[in-house]
Structures are given as C-alpha cells and as structure tokens.
Amino acid sequence: MLLGSKMLTEEDRLTKAVVRILGEPRYIALAGVLMIGSKTIDDDVSTACTNGRDEKYGRAFVAGLTDPELRGLVLHENYHKLYRHLTTWKNLWDIAPRLANVACDFVINLKIIDENKDGFAVLPEGGCIDERFRGMSAAEVFNILREEQSSKPKPRRGDESGQGGGDPDESSGGEGSGTTPDNESGQDGRDDPTDGDLDEHDWEGANELTPDEMNELERDIDEAIRQGALTAGKMGVNVARDIEDLLQPQVNWREVLREFVKSTCAGKDFSTWARPNRRFLGQGVYLPSGISENVEELLLAVDTSGSIGQRELTLFLTEVKAICDTVKPDKVRLLYWGHTVVGDESYDMEELDGLVNSTKPRGGGGTDVECVTKYMDENKITPQAAIVLTDGDLYGGWGKWNCPVLWTILDNEDANPDVGKRVHIRTRDM
C-alpha cells in the first residue's frame, strides 16, 4: 500500500491501525489494553493470534486486508485480551479446542459489529457471527455449541457438505476457528456460521506465562480498564461495557478446585494449610502449598436443593473426575444432603465413570449442612479433604469439619462460610 510515494510495510499498516483506533473516542476505554504487550508481524502465523498479552499478525494475511478489516482484526485480538479469554477460559480449550476458539469469537464479533455501523472497523471474512449468542459469555456459548455437537450425528468421512457435528477435539492444536456444529436454525440457508479462520488462539502460549507474568498481566489489564473508564467519563463518552464485571472477573472455579484438591489431598499433615498459595492472592482466594502425592479419600458433599440442577452436578462431578485422574485418590465418597444425608456413594479409581453419571436425589425439606458433619462423625468418615457444592442458602451453622473444606457456592455471592475456603460460581459460567 502507498502513502504518498512511500510503500507501507505490513508493520507500518499495523502501527497505523493501532493509532487510528487510539484516536477514536469510542475506544477510549480500550486504549490502555491496546498498549499492553507486543504487536508483531510474523511470517509463520497464518492469520493472527494472542496469548492474552502479546499479539502476532500473519504477514500474508495482513497484506490481503483492507484498512477497516485490519482495524477490525486488531480490535478482535484486543477484546480477547480485555475479556481475559486466554486465561479465564483455559478449561474450555482443555475440553474441546475448536469449540473454545469459536465460543470466544462469537462473543467478540457481535460487539465489534455493533460498535462500527459506520464502517470504521470491519471484520475480515471468516468471522463467526450468530445473533443467538448476543449478550452471552464465552462459557454460555461453549455449552450451547457442545450440546448441539453431542446431539448431532457425526458426518461420514469425506462428506461433501462439510457441515454437521464434526468432533471438536480433532482440531490441530486448537488453532483457528475451524468448523463446528451446524446452526440449527438454518437461517437463510447460509453456511455454518462457525466456519472460517479469522484468527488463532495461542492457548499454549498463555500456558507458558509464568505466575509472575500472569499476575502482572492481570494488574495491567485492571489498571487499563480503570484508566480507560476514567478518561471516557471525563470526556463524556458513554462506555458501553460493564466496567464492574471487567474489573471483577469470575474466578476460574475449576482451577481453584484443582489447586485445592492437589494441595490438600497430598497427605494427612495439614501443617501447611495456613500458608497461602500466592497464585490466587489477587483473587482473594487463599490456598496452601502441596505436601506429598499420597491421596487417600476425597469427600464430596452435594446439596440436594432444587437450585442445583443435574446439569450443574454433572459438570461439577466431571471436573472432580478429571482432577482425580491426576491425583488418583484411593476413594471418592459422595454424600447427598438436605436436612439429612439422603445418599452415600463410594467410588474407587476404577469406578470414577460412575461418579460422573451419579444422579441427584430429589430435594425437599430444609438445608442444614451440619447433618453432613454429624454423619461423618457417626460413620467415622475421615477424608483428607471435603468439597461442598451448595447454593449457600442454609439454616444453622456451617458445621465443624475434621478436614480442610472448600465451599463451591452457586449463584450466591452473599454466602460467606466461617470455616474453610470458598469459591463462588455463576451457573452461567459453568
């Protein structure tokens, strides 16, 4: 491309795109995030990618874009950073890389389209767009796509349509948007909206960030949001995003759960229970460091109240099973409780598939967690750690536990146990 008599390189065009975005009042609140990390042109990148901090843009891909399309691509990568997709939703990539990619993209692309009715920024061809997902989080979109995936028969190898429920786990390294389930609405007979490769998501690069780098990145993003919102307010610019939600992102409950199990089920010596794991200090979650690798019994106590559905239970048990596949406890004890213990199931390592398929008994009556601790005492149940899944709407106290306990509390930010550790979960993010 020419500027006067000078040919612009792809590096020049990328810099120009960033400067133009920074000069737009509509992106004042995004300006600080745009300045985080590096932006480079890379011959080996097919489209573009970010690890949540740094961005890379494929030289050949950039060369084929118009200026509005390049601005759209830069916005796309930086919204990934703003929403912390590569760090918050790592668990989705572990389950199904391709679906994780497009779930994050669906969230971003509608936003970019809405903000650029004037054509300032345009999504390059191949971006995933579907009105069904307006206002949803990446986790919500992922769950819908996953359910659609499982409900459809896989196409035969060599199916010329190229549509249908291909296995999302068959992606190569989780890069690119790939092809995912059909849009069941079949709107206007258009092609599958999840087809295309707008960008790549560098999940592996995100994993390579050290704990110190991750903490620094979190601080930088928080500060960028605060400064952006402040600047926007002074200039009278309406910030269309939920600043409070961005500054207080949902804690990745799966990661907290995994860290709890690994650190507390490592032996019977709980002397390190009070020593905090610095990894989670910024999120207000205090967990100990590990001890050994000898795991005996893990207790799961599941509230039978109606607010905890079978879907939430299955997702919770699936995550516990995945953790157990790593730490390999001798036994997992599953208790269902309301005002009394109404179910008692035991699983050894060879039976954990049965754990995932466990069905919650029908709830009823009050919710008193002290029935669990009394039951444990009466039956001499002495696990190395206990995990309680509840909505936190209890009467009575929080019980007297004979082991470390982690409360996983659904949709109730006001529930604050006075014993053990806690992590709040929004059902929409499961």
Residues 407, 308 share a domain: yes
Using an 8 Å Cβ cutoff, are 77 and 50 in contact? Answer: yes
CA–CA distance, 420 with 417 (Å, rounded to integer): 7
Q: What is the band of 157 on the pLDDT scale with cuts at 50, 70, 90?
A: very low
Checking if the pLDDT of 172 tops 80, the result is no
Of the three residues 247, 280, 296, the one that is the final residue of a domain is 247
Q: For 279-384, where are the alpha helices, taking DSSP H only? A: 310-327, 352-356, 370-378
Residues 200, 297 share a domain: no
Residues 243, 257 share a domain: no
Residues 237, 287 share a domain: no
Nearest CA among 201, 213, 244, 197 for reference residue 81: 201
Residues 219, 85 share a domain: yes
Checking if the pLDDT of 239 tops 80, the result is no
Number of domains, the chain:
2
Of the three residues 191, 225, 247, the one that is the final residue of a domain is 247
Residues 398, 264 share a domain: yes
Of the three residues 218, 247, 276, the one that is the final residue of a domain is 247
Residues 349, 269 share a domain: yes
Weakest-pLDDT range from 54-58, 182-186, 349-353, 412-416 = 182-186
Residues 132, 62 share a domain: yes
Query: Which residue segment(s) compose the domain that 355 sits in?
Result: 253-429
Q: What is the band of 271 on the pLDDT scale with cuts at 50, 70, 90?
A: very low
Q: pTM of whole model > 0.85?
A: no
Residues 237, 108 share a domain: yes
Weakest-pLDDT range from 160-169, 305-314, 368-377 = 160-169
Beta carbons within 10 angstroms of residue 58's beta carbon: 21
Nearest CA among 45, 36, 44 for reference residue 18: 36
Half-sphere exposure of 294 (CA within 13 A, CB side): 4
Weakest-pLDDT range from 230-234, 315-319, 381-385, 398-402 = 230-234
